[in-house]
């Protein structure tokens, strides 16, 4: 196999690996977002509230498109407060 074909094949495998990892991360983020949205912070221990805040802040830092992709990855919807 010529050098250029080997490089293309290597890049293709790397891209496929990165896309699979992105899908796995989207599932984690989507599930985390749905979990955080469903929590009643008044009923959580202080330590859990602090961790939930870190997760929520991290999720809120995502772009709207990425968050929608994450929710779609786990077939979740988050209702917006009226």
Per the structure, the complete domain to which residue 39 belongs is given by 3-73
**Position 78 in a domain:** no
**CA-angle at 73, arms to 70 and 55, nearest 5°:** 35
What's the alpha-carbon Rg for the chain, to the nearest Å? 18
**Position 13 in a domain:** yes
**Position 45 in a domain:** yes
User: pLDDT per position in the chain (82 positions), as tens?
Assistant: 689 999 999 999 999 999 999 999 999 999 999 999 999 989 999 999 999 999 999 999 999 999 999 999 999 887 765 4
Helix, strand, coil % over all residues of the chain, rounded to 5: 80, 0, 20
Q: Count structural domains, the chain.
A: 1
In whole angstroms, how far apart are CA 8 and each of 5, 13, 62? 5, 9, 31
Place of tokens 């509230």: 49
List helix spans (H) across 39-82.
Answer: 46-60, 64-73
**Position 69 in a domain:** yes
**Position 40 in a domain:** yes
| Predicted TM-score (pTM) of this structure | 0.81
């Amino acid at each position: 196999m010529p050098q250029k074909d080997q490089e293309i094949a290597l890049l293709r495998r790397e891209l496929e690996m990165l896309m699979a990892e992105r899908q796995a991360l989207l599932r984690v983020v989507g599930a985390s977002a749905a979990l955080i949205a469903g929590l009643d912070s008044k009923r959580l221990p202080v330590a859990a509230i602090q961790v939930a805040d870190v997760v929520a802040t991290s999720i809120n830092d995502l772009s709207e498109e990425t968050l929608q992709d994450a929710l779609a990855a786990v077939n979740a919807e988050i209702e917006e407060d009226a």
